[in-house]
Amino acid sequence: MKTTITTVGLKRLAVATLFACGIVHAQSTVPVMQPTEGDFEARDFHFQSGQTLPTVKLHYATLGTPTRGADGKVNNAVLLLHGTTGTGRAYLTPLMQKELFAAGQPLDASRYYIIMPDGIGRGGSSKPSDALRANFPRYGYNDVVEGHYRLLTEGLKVDHLRLILGTSMGGMQTWVWGERHPDMMDALMPIASQPVAMSGRNWLWRRMLIDAIRNDPDWNGGNYTRQPTHWTRTTPVFALMTQSAATLQKAAPTRDQVNQYVDKTVADSRGVDANDYLYWFESSWDYNPEPDLGMIRAPLYAVNFADDMINAVDLGVMQRTVPKVRQGKYVEMPESVNTYGHQTLQHPEVWKPYLVELLKSLPAQK
């Protein structure tokens, strides 16, 4: 195994905070914290599909410094997990830093060791576009969580976490973490997720994106010689599902502005590798934590939003599933001028009070 650590320059952060499909919300001007970035190489990585890779690179960024308890083990680590189209840098926006990591905030970087990995298939971690393209192993959420686990335990020598917090896909993986490693964390906070397998509208729109790639005339089974681009015409569907009606109306209040918005969204998506994008959405194939929710031991506080079309509150999913978690509870925040649909996850000022509540309920760090 190999771990490489570097310090990231401010320019490389590129935290312009573009929301899905180009919508940008106001950001507060605060001093930018400079994270430490590194790569860990996990040897002989076995995927649940039966495929293996001799080495999987796992990229990460950290804020803060690890502290150790009386037993010599790190006792202040926090793991933050990103969404389907993101990387660990999703947590490095000025707004996230101001609301979560600044002095006196719930995850004050002077108190906590904050770990923000890029999941397998994304960012600086191993992914199809590196070389293997369609021959890259068919990874699922369980494989991504296993990558997180090996990064923590083998690379960073962290065997316990004060908190795991994830948004969207990261929220889904937070449920998985609680089941696979129930004694490794003090608390769990999945945001904008539901602990059930993909189905109904939530799988329908993803399937549309997947099929658009597979049926692109330049796809060639994933072994294309030039990037397929026809499929990118479907990418505005992502904004349709992740943004509230009010947010989209504000971003594009006239027909001409909608046309410009669509064209820009499509143009921007052409910078994304088609294989990577396909794998991102297909990787939910193994996600179904519902049968094992009773295995979660840590206190869990799930936060969802009433105007989130991906995690529809009218299905009663949380009411049915969260009682299966012995220390579980949830909140479904009503739609308001301060919510943005699924992308409310990018606004910690909205959901931060629940994080504060969860942390205050925990016993003192050992």
Q: Closest by alpha carbon to 20, among 211, 173, 168, 198?
A: 168
Instruction: Please give the Cα distance from 243 to 236 (Å, whole number).
Output: 11
Q: Closest by alpha carbon to 244, among 310, 169, 166, 171?
A: 310
59 in active site? no
The residue with tokens 């908190």 is 163
287 within 8 A of 161, measured Cβ to Cβ = no
Instruction: Please give the Cα distance from 86 to 171 (Å, whole number).
Output: 13
The residue with tokens 């995927």 is 47
Phi/psi for 136 (5° steps) reads: -65, 140
Q: Closest by alpha carbon to 123, among 151, 154, 84?
A: 84
| Angle subtended at Cα 81 by Cα 77 and Cα 85, rounded to the nearest 5 degrees | 155
Both tokens of residue 328? 């579980």
**Pairing of the two strands 113-117 and 163-167:** unpaired
361 in active site? no
Cα radius of gyration rounded to whole Å, the chain: 20
- 32: which residues sit within 8 A by CB, 6+ positions away? 10, 13, 15, 94, 97
Active-site entry in 160, 181, 342, 347: 342
Q: How many CA atoms lie within 13 A of 77 on its CB side?
A: 24
Instruction: Please give the Cα distance from 3 to 43 (Å, whole number).
Output: 11
Active-site entry in 168, 193, 244, 284: 168
Q: How many CA atoms lie within 13 A of 14 on its CB side?
A: 4
308 in active site? yes
Instruction: Please give the Cα distance from 144 to 47 (Å, whole number).
Output: 9
Q: Closest by alpha carbon to 55, among 107, 114, 111, 4?
A: 4
Q: Residue 144: in which H helix or E strand, if any?
A: helix 141-150
CB count in 10 Å sphere of residue 68: 10
Which residues are part of the catalytic machinery? 168, 308, 342
